[in-house]
Structure 1
Amino acid sequence: MKIVQYVKMKIFLKDRDLELSTINGKKYPTTDEIPCMNNGDMWCPLIDVENGIIINWEKGTTANINIEVDYDYRVFECLDENKNILHILEERVPDSLSPEKEGYGEYIHMTINNEGVINKWNPILTLR
């Protein structure tokens, strides 16, 4: 069995998945209010796995993310320190993306502070 070490994770999700989330205390945010949007239709946070910090987070923004992830529009890329892709996950949501309550492989539940730090982050640094 090969063990792959990765240091960053990039997520690609369609924006409609974010409709139950709260940004700066506001429910049902528009895509303009959501940090890490790519081309207005994909949520693409880049996470420093060791520290649980979203690198491309807009400082000063807080969020409570609750997403039932659409199977047709999700990709999780595991990257090295140079952002080279080491592994792509397309089946289940990694457990580390739901640190506050059980995600059952289908949900992302996380609270992000104004510095982009994910609350209760518990990194899973190896893929088997």
Structure 2
Amino acid sequence: MTSTIELTQVVSKEVKYLKAECGVRYWEDGEVNGKTDDEGTLIPLRVNDAWCPTIDLTTGVIEDWPEGTTADVHYKVCDDGVYKLLDAEKNVVRSISGYVPKIMSPGGSGYGDYVIMTVGTDGQIVGWRVDLDGFEEEAE
């Protein structure tokens, strides 16, 4: 008779991008080019009812951000988000869903419920810092 156990192996992977799919509850909590975005029609990278930026982790620049556009967002998302860390080829390395990770709130404490950030005319997120807490699996 033999017995079997399961082992978990820790693997380190390099990540380059964060792709977010934020289910925004109140679009009017955002401004684009200094105007309140009541219906969410002004914010770049909106897909249906979600805001979907892809952020370069190293630079804090949002890909495909329209040059000259500014945004100040304070979106309530709560547990309606999917956040994916991607490698340089944009393959998914790790995906989490639910509460907003701290990395998405460089403009203030989001308490796991809010995306808070200011985006400059070049797509650069003001005060960007990489904080991958919440993405790493914890040992049992």
TM over 0.5: yes
CA 15–125 in structure 1, closer or farther in 2 if over 3 Å, else same: closer
Structure in which a larger fraction of residues adopt helix: 1
Greater length-normalized contact order (CA 8 Å, ≥ 6 residues apart):
1
1:101 partnered with 2:108: yes
Q: How far 1:29 moved relative to its partner?
A: 4.0
Q: Which one of 7, 19, 25 corresponds to residue 16 of structure 2?
A: 7
The 3-state SS of whatever aligns with 1:56 is coil
> Equivalents in 1 of 2:102, 2:24: separation in Å?
21
In structure 1, list runs of 5 or more residues that go unmatched: none
Is this contact kept in 1: 2:30–2:74, CA < 8 A?
Answer: yes
* Cα-Cα RMSD: 1.9
In structure 2, list runs of 5 or more residues that go unmatched: 1-9
Structure in which a larger fraction of residues adopt strand: 1
Is this contact kept in 1: 2:85–2:95, CA < 8 A?
Answer: yes
TM-score where L is the length of structure 2: 0.79
TM-score where L is the length of structure 1: 0.86
1:44 partnered with 2:52: yes
1:24 partnered with 2:33: yes
Task: Report how many aligned residue pairs link the two structures.
Answer: 126
Q: How far 1:70 moved relative to its partner?
A: 3.7
Share of identical aligned residues, percent?
Answer: 33
> Equivalents in 1 of 2:111, 2:12: separation in Å?
23
Bigger Rg, which one: 2
> Equivalents in 1 of 2:26, 2:17: separation in Å?
22
> Equivalents in 1 of 2:52, 2:18: separation in Å?
10
- Aligned positions of 1:117-128 closer than 5 A: 117-124=124-131, 127-128=135-136
Give CA deviations for 1:6-26 in whole Å, capped at 9, x if unaligned. 110111123444321111111
